[in-house]
Amino acid sequence: MPHEKDQTHWHEPAGHKKAGFGEFKKQPTPYDAFMESEGVPVFRDIGISKVQNLPLAPWKRKGGRGHYIQLLGTEGKWGCYVVEVPAAGTLNPERHMYEEIYLVVEGRGTTEVWLEGDTKKHVFEWQTGSIFSIPMNAWFRIVNATNSGALLLAGNTAPNVLNQLNNIDTSVSAARTTSTSRRTTSKQIRYAD
């Protein structure tokens, strides 16, 4: 039977050839779309030798520079990224509905943690080699105490939560600072579809 040149057609496999019409690609998940919408590069591979070698890009939501890391085999289960806290600066306050753990790769500083309506912030210090976790749904802000950038590696369950809820606004909140009054208000960031 002759084949039309413009038409996809079935070929019976022979020898070691695979059956089917072609390549099957993984469909992007809500978490994949979230990472892409952030405007930060995404490293995808089986592993990484040194996170310090990743090129960092400005990260508007965080207020620092960063790079997502999506290790093959962990998609949909575990999210990872590196973020640089500006020299003698802070990251933007935020809260989220997923677990998050930080490993301090370089630097020294403090983290402020509070719940909505709290009058007092809980503050703890960290340095190179420290590991700390932020409670779910708590506001927090990471502060760099040095004159050079602090680099933190974060691991979280964001892919699992964002893929199940399919709603970024419910899962991730960030504070917005108004330039006129310099006070922080807790408004959720809206992401374009």
Instruction: Give tens-digit pLDDT for 40-61.
Output: 999 999 999 999 999 999 999 9
Q: Is residue 93 part of a domain?
A: yes
pLDDT the model gives residue 6: 65
Q: Is residue 8 part of a domain?
A: no
Structure confidence by residue, pLDDT tens digits, 64-96:
999 999 999 888 899 999 999 999 999 999 999
Q: Is 141 helix (H, G, I), strand (E, B) or coil?
A: strand
pLDDT the model gives residue 49: 94
In angstroms, what CA-CA distances link 28 with 33, 76, 109, 133, 192? 7, 10, 36, 28, 16
CATH of the domain at 96: 2.60.120.10
Are 79 and 156 contacting, i.e. CB atoms less than 8 angstroms apart? yes
- Of the candidates 193, 182, 163, 168, which has an alpha carbon nearest to the alpha carbon of residue 61? 168
pLDDT the model gives residue 187: 40
For residue 112, is pLDDT > 70? yes
Q: Is residue 1 part of a domain?
A: no
Contacts of residue 35, defined as CB under 8 A and 6 or more positions apart, other chains included, come to 42, 68, 70
Tell whether pTM > 0.85. Answer: no
In total, how many domains does the chain have?
1
Residue 22 pLDDT grade (very low, low, confident, very high; cuts 50, 70, 90): low
Q: Is residue 167 part of a domain?
A: yes
Q: Is residue 66 part of a domain?
A: yes
Q: Which residues constitute the domain of residue 38?
A: 30-185
Q: Is residue 14 part of a domain?
A: no
Q: Is the dihedral of CA 86, 108, 90, 190 positive or negative?
A: positive
Q: Is residue 101 part of a domain?
A: yes
Angle between helices 158-165 and 30-37 (to 10 degrees): 110
